């Protein structure tokens, strides 16, 4: 799976712990659902750090699509909400 972090590039997360990735994604969604901007930003930072720290950067000349888009870490609650789908940022595993 390729995840795009807005303003930073794309990361291949095929070899990461997807349960932990989903946990961070769910924390962002939960915080947004209750309208807690600080908790949403904290969770978004955790998700960001996990993707960047454990994913493999995708080369700039990669022409494929991203399966998920994550906003930049200092996004507002409104900006985070705009990018959320019914499954958070990252699609739930089938």
Domain chopping of the chain, boundaries:
2-83
- Predicted pLDDT of residue 60: 83
Closest CA to 31 of 22, 21, 41: 41
Buried b (16+ CB within 10 A) or exposed e, 3-18: bbbeeeebbebeebee
- Predicted pLDDT of residue 94: 58
Question: What does each of the 94 residues of the chain score in pLDDT, given as a tens digit?
Answer: 999 999 999 999 999 999 999 999 999 999 999 999 999 999 999 999 999 999 999 998 888 888 999 999 889 999 999 888 777 888 876 5
- Predicted pLDDT of residue 58: 95
């Amino acid at each position: 799976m390729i995840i795009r972090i807005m303003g930073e590039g794309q990361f291949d997360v095929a070899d990461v712990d997807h349960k932990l990735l989903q946990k961070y994604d769910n924390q962002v969604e939960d915080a947004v659902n209750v309208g807690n901007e600080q908790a949403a930003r904290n969770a978004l930072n955790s998700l960001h750090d996990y993707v960047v720290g454990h994913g493999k950067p995708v080369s700039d000349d990669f022409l494929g699509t991203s399966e998920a888009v994550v906003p930049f870490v200092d996004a507002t609650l409104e900006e985070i909400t705009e990018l959320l789908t019914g499954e958070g940022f990252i699609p739930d595993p089938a």
